[in-house]
Structure 1
């Protein structure tokens, strides 16, 4: 169309569609958003090597309208960055939008929700993880007693084996019963 240089080859676009839950239109929109975050460092044609290595820093990602209001935006970027830096390559960026898309299956969303809530990355959601999650959700506006009560109630309701922490299966079991989970665990691109 016109004389505009395409960011991807047809094969690249087809591969991104096959590997994500995003439409062609969403992939191209994600590329435009990512390009805006990279301060001119992204070449006109986004080859696979560049897509897998060039990163957008968290400070730039934090300005995205699509993430700005999410209290977990920094943690989300940490999880998707793979190395905990919160800087994302294009492939990680598109994976984030894919997981948070309306077309992503519940199981995948629940698995990533677990990873986001597992702040200490020990494979369980313990009291400290829950405390951090509640503080994120409440913008740190409650007192210590209120936080302790909420954390205790969550564990009382969800900790099936009574070990003081939630395993991934316990978390997913509870989260998938929540009627609001799918409607709240998405980002429109």
Structure 2
């Protein structure tokens, strides 16, 4: 997550980067900014797409590696099948945005309460 907010892209946060991160996770942050950073967080390989490998990595982190590779591949394939409008096997920012905006809980869960 720190890589998404660091200016150098390596995860080293300056104090300003840290403040930017906190502002994105505030309840008052605009939806578009939250979606932009959510995309950056899930784009682990920084190729401007969320592909099967990115989804598998997210699932692995969320489930603490409790699913088999086959189960993660199934989740990844189903996610791409549901959201990949142009059929290229990965999610662009626009496709990701479309999915996120259909999830009403996104805004209520993508924040940190301090």
TM-score by length of 1: 0.58
CA RMSD of aligned residues (A): 1.0
Which residue in the other structure is 1:86 paired with? Answer: 11
Give me the whole-angstrom Cα distance separating, in 2, the residues matched to 1:82 and 1:141: 33
Is 1:169 aligned to 2:103, yes or no? no
Is 1:146 aligned to 2:68, yes or no? no
Which residue in the other structure is 1:99 paired with? Answer: 24
- Higher-Rg structure is 1
**Residue 36 of structure 2: which of 97, 111, 123 is its match?**
111
> Which secondary structure state, in structure 1, belongs to the residue aligned with residue 22 of structure 2?
helix
Give me the whole-angstrom Cα distance separating, in 1, the residues matched to 2:7 and 2:53: 22
Higher relative contact order (CA 8 A, sep 6+): 2
**Residue 136 of structure 1: which of 50, 53, 61 is its match?**
61
Deviation at 1:176, TM superposition (A): 1.3
Note the residue ranges of structure 1 that are not aligned, 5 or more in a row: 1-75
**Which stretch shifts more, 144-153 or 81-90?**
81-90
**Number of aligned residue pairs:** 114
Note the residue ranges of structure 2 that are not aligned, 5 or more in a row: none
